[in-house]
Amino acid sequence: MKLLVFSDLHLHDWKQFGLDQKTGLSKRLIDQQSILNQIVTLIQVRNVSGVIFPGDLFHNVGSVATEVLNTAYTFFRYLEKNNIPVYFVKGNHDLVNRKSPKWFHYSG
C-alpha cells in the first residue's frame, strides 16, 4: 500500500497577496490549487492507494470563503470518485476552540 502524506495546506482566500486578473481569485489560492493538482498527479503517477492529512486544511476557523471551500471540495471529490481513502488528523486550525491548549490535546 502506497500512502501520500501532506499537511498544513491552510486554504484561504489571501487577498493581501494580490488577485489574479482573469479569475478574480487570490494568487495564493491559485498556488494552493496548483499544489493540489500536483498531488493529484503524484497520486496517479505513483499509484497511491491512500492519503493521510495530518491537519490544518483551512486557515480560518468558522469562516471559509466559497472559493476556498470549492477548492477543497474539488480535491476531495476526486479522491472519493477514485476510491482513495483519506485519513485526517486534526490540526490546531481545524478545531472550533483553539484558545484552550488543554482542549486541543483532548480532541485528538
> Residue 63: which residues within 8 A CB-CB, separation 6 or more?
none
Looking at residue 15, its pLDDT comes to 84
> Residue 87: which residues within 8 A CB-CB, separation 6 or more?
50, 51, 52, 53
pLDDT tens digit string along 29-55? 999 999 999 999 999 999 999 999 998
How remote is the C-alpha of 32 from its chain's centroid? Answer: 8
Mapped onto helix, strand or coil, the DSSP state of residue 86 is strand
The per-residue pLDDT of the chain, averaged, comes to: 86
pLDDT score of 89 more than 70: yes
